[in-house]
Amino acid sequence: MNTYRLIISSPDGNAFDGQASFLSLRGANGDLAIMAGHIPFITSVLSCDCKVIFEDDTEKTGHTDGGLLTVDSDKVTLLSGSFKWNE
């Protein structure tokens, strides 16, 4: 599966910076998912659980208190005031 660089950034450091193939979360207009090749995009993110599928096909969920999602041609950045991976 095609991958892209995903950065999950918070004031306490990056919770993740690496390759991923899928990210789903709750945007301002509802649930959305980002896959490789997505057009440049910006939306505000609501407090929700996010699902990430990594390049080795493993998946993990984490909780964000809300923030901002920016999709560039080469990377996807989730800026969140607080982000914690679920156990």
Partner 1 sequence: MGADIKKLRSRIKSVDSTLHLTKAMGLVASSKIRRANDAMNKSREYARSVTEAVDMLTSCSECAKSPYMKQSGGDRICLVVVAGDRGLAGGYNANIFRLVREYDASLIIGVGKRACDRFGSKLILAEDFSYDDAMSLSKELCSRFASGEFDKVGIVCTKYVSMMSQEAQIKWILPLVKNENAARQSVVFEPDEMTILNTAIFEYVAATLVGAVRESFASEVAARRFAMDSAGKNAQQMLDDLHLSYNRARQGAITQEITEIVAGSDA
For residue 57, the Cα-to-chain-centroid distance in whole angstroms is 15
62, amino acid identity: G
Q: Segment near partner 1 (CB under 8 A), from 18-26, 49-57, 65-73?
A: 65-73
Q: Segment near partner 1 (CB under 8 A), from 18-26, 32-40, 53-61?
A: 32-40
Distance CA 76, CA 14 (A): 13
Q: Site residues for partner 1, window 40-59 (CB under 8 A)?
A: 40-44
Is residue 18 within the footprint of partner 1 (CB under 8 A)?
no
What are the tokens at 15?
A: 């919770």
What are the tokens at 71?
A: 């999709």
Please give the residue ranges that form the binding site for partner 1 (CB under 8 A). 7, 9-14, 27-29, 32, 39-44, 67-68, 70, 73, 77, 79, 81-82
